[in-house]
Structure 1
Amino acid sequence: MHSLLVCVSALCFCQLFEGAIGNGAVSLCKDCRVNVIYPETGMPPPELPKNHKIVRIINEYKRISREEIEYRDEIRMLKLRSKEFSFIAKVKVGNSTRCSAALVAPSVVITSSTCFLKETPPQIEIIFHGGRTFKVDNIVNADLCPELSLLHLKTPSENSPINLCHGDLPLGINASMIMASPDLSFYARRRTQIISNRACKTTFLEDDSVFVTSNMMCALNSIKPEKCATSPGDSLLIDHQLCGLNIYGFRCFTNALNGDLYVNLAKMQPIISDLIRQLNG
């Protein structure tokens, strides 16, 4: 509808001064180009000054409802997000989609080691947006961070890998939790901050299987448990760089300072980069 108004306005503007031009006045523009709109067929074109040129004739148009415009905008945003987050994958073991993962090299994804029990690479598949599936032929854990797993794909993905963070991540720095639906048809971004690891120790206090180490960092989650939707392997981004990887998912309590534990990829970056180079050849 906006382009329609522009076209009509351009036509009216030129016709408004047609009389002045015809009476010998100076032309306001040289070789004006206008779009002429005819909602009804069979109408003859209007007479335009010689220095005006019709570049397009639109014989018909239709009105678009606000609901349809909003729907088209939503679809466009989903396409943009699917491109922006094309590095995000899901880890499928058998018939179960367990965790998220992130593509850090054409043939390497990283995820949380909690996704696996005793599964071997042939039992694991990596799924990207659109349903494309990749087989895994090798799993490597970082020696200093057994909570992190690197998976080598049998064939490289055409998606763009995400870059790893560099440098220190001070407390209070802003970040984004990235979550995705199991079929990767929906992405969500939650603004957060890096907070003290003490908060995560309180959050996971009753979980004996959780260990908080110096290679981890704590990111603030929602105070409302129903809005805590993070999963193991979810990405933590700062300036569209991968700075953290969710280890255990969420443990949220009402009106509490809930924190999620992430591997501090900025701190682990030299070690992880070496492993990526080895796996990616």
Structure 2
Amino acid sequence: MHSLLVCVSALCFCQLCQAGAGIPLCKDCRVNVIYPGEGKPQQQLPENHQIVRIINDYRRITKEQMEIQDEIRQHRLQVKDFNFIAKVKLENVIRCSAALVGPRLLITSSTCFVNKTSQQLRVLFPGGRTFDIDSIVKPDSCPEISLLLLKSEVSEINPIYLCHQDIQLGINASMMMASPDLSFYGRRHTKIISNEVCQTTFFEEDSVFTTSNMMCAMNSMTPDKCATSPGDALLIDHKLCGINIYGFRCFVNELNGDLYINLSKLQPMIGDLIRQLNVKVGN
């Protein structure tokens, strides 16, 4: 006699092959599938048989419909994985990205809101939710980044964990990007390269400089595909290891690079600031 487990495993295949109702899925099995619907006769179960599944709706879908459903599922996964990404707004204008590292704390680039106060800025999260900023902290030893302390906690969003590892040249990383309204997320696989590449990329801009706290990540050789913004996150092993400082400066057929603050190098300083603010962060 076949086991009940074998019969249940064959359910999906058998339901396509058997058009009738009340037909056992396999010999001597005490399982049935019933297809209810209008115009169908009342279905009687043979003695000692059980209903294991009722099919209420059965229809064919095209390949295009399957692809659309896959895109929707992928987008939902992205929203779940990347919803730590936020946007900093000045009035109704998006200025840069930020990364949620604690229920009330974000890290971003200072270059996108120079000489602005916390009262002038708000933080936008997925779903259109906006939060007021309580204070802006710019560390003296690294003025290129800012910590944004919100007035209230952000619920239902998991902060991104901070990076603690030593970051070497050639290590793989992910550039994170998002549309201004956070309806679309992008990720570019990249690697850490020499800071000399970024010095060449930003050579003609006097206001841009590199320090030992910065690292360079390779961007695209096609300017149309360069889409990073100040405050964008750089992830290594799903942890926040860098914050984009200036955004992209890309040239055709050049080895382009983006400058990021190396958060791993700044761990002692960031830790001290977080303790002073008395807020929780991801480990």
Task: Verify same fold: TM over 0.5.
Answer: yes
1:8–1:37 contact (8 Å) kept in structure 2: no
Q: Aligned with 1:262: secondary structure? A: strand
Specify the code of the residue in structure 1 equivalent to 2:119: P
C-alpha distance in structure 1 between counterparts of 2:169 and 2:184, whole Å: 30
Contact preservation (8 Å) 2:193, 2:217: yes
Q: 1:194 is paired with a residue of what secondary structure?
A: strand
Relative to structure 1, the CA distance from residue 7 to residue 41 in structure 2 (aligned partners, 3 Å threshold; closer, same or farther) is farther
Gaps of 5+ in 2: 1-9
Partner residue in 2 for 1:186: 184
Is the counterpart of residue 55 in structure 1 residue 62 in structure 2? no
**Residue 161 of structure 1 aligns to a residue in which SS?**
coil
Alignment of 1:1-281 (within 5 A): 5-6=12-13, 8=15, 15=24, 18=27, 27=28, 32-37=30-35, 41-45=39-43, 48=46, 50=47, 52-58=49-55, 60-158=57-155, 159-281=157-279
Distance 1:11 1:36, change over 3 A: farther
Identity of aligned residues (%): 60
SS at match of 1:130: helix
Contact map agreement 2:175 2:234 (CA 8 A) in 1? yes
Task: State how far apart, in whole Å, the 2-side matches of 1:234 and 1:139 are.
Answer: 18
**Counterparts of 1:70 and 1:4 in 2: how far apart (Å)?**
25
1:137: how far off?
1.8
Deviates more, 1:110-119 or 1:62-71: 62-71
Instruction: Quote how far apart the aligned CAs of 1:5 are.
Output: 4.7
* RMSD (Å), alpha carbons: 2.2
SS at match of 1:155: coil
Q: State the partner residue of 1:22.
A: none
CA distance in 2, matches of 1:148, 1:221: 21
Instruction: Mark the CA change 1:8 to 1:121 in structure 2 (over 3 Å): closer, same or farther.
Output: same
Using a 3 Å threshold, how does the CA distance of structure 1 residues 35 and 277 change in structure 2: closer, same or farther?
Answer: farther
- Give the number of aligned pairs: 266
Q: What one-letter code is carried by the residue in structure 1 that aligns with 2:170?
A: G
Whole-angstrom distance in 2 between the partners of 1:157 and 1:72: 30
In structure 2, the CA distance between the partners of 1:124 and 1:47, relative to structure 1 (3 Å rule), is closer
CA distance in 1: counterparts of 2:14 and 2:164, whole angstroms: 50
Q: 1:11 to 1:129 in 2, by over 3 A?
A: same
TM-score where L is the length of structure 1: 0.87
Q: Structure 1's 75 and 185: CA in aligned 2 closer, same or farther, altered over 3 A?
A: same
Q: Is the 8 A contact 2:11 2:25 kept in 1?
A: no
Q: How far 1:53 moved relative to its partner?
A: 1.9
